[in-house]
Amino acid sequence: MPKLSRRYLHMAFFNLIWGITFGGLLLYNKGVPLTPLMWKLLPLHIELMLVGWMIQFIMGIGFWIFPRFWRSRGNDTPMRWAFWLLNIGVWLAGLNGVFNLPAQIFLAGRIFELTAGILFVLYAWRRIKPPGTGEWGKKRARTTTGS
């Protein structure tokens, strides 16, 4: 598993732990009320579970297992940027609900997430291809024989 996938997965696990902790507190509070303030954790719980955990895990696994260009995964710069944008975006958007931050911060978080998603799709698009083809779908024989 490449280093970048490991980074994605470890961060997904980190977000999962926080996501289930906040979700667990919310559910516990629903059964045995502790404080109404607990409900402020709901947006952060949703953001962490859907984007920080599930989407990030899928992106990391995709980078690992999608068909490669011979032995290379190509230029992974978009995936590196997507990692930071996604995680900053998740926490900005999630914490907004907890602390009642300005709407611009919530919006910034969501724009970061969108940008991360676009970068992932732009990167991964070329790797969704038949086996044995290069970056632009050319057969290997054509590139290796020079014909």
20 or 108: CB nearest other proteins: 20
Closest CB 142 distance from other proteins, rounded Å: 32
Number of residues engaging other proteins in binding (CB under 8 A): 26
Is residue 94 within 8 Å of residue 70, measured between CB atoms?
no
Token readout for 25 is 């507190």
The terminus-to-terminus CA distance of the chain in angstroms comes to 34
Interface residue with other proteins among 38, 43, 54, 74 (CB under 8 A) is 54
Of the candidates 144, 85, 88, the one whose C-alpha atom is nearest the C-alpha of residue 117 is 85
31 or 130: CB nearest other proteins: 31
24 or 132: CB nearest other proteins: 24
Q: Which residue has the tokens 């509070």?
A: 29
Query: How many C-beta atoms lie closer than 10 Å to residue 117's C-beta?
Result: 17
Q: Which residues bind other proteins (CB under 8 A)?
A: 1-3, 6, 9-10, 13, 16-17, 20-21, 23-28, 30-32, 49-50, 54, 57, 61, 65
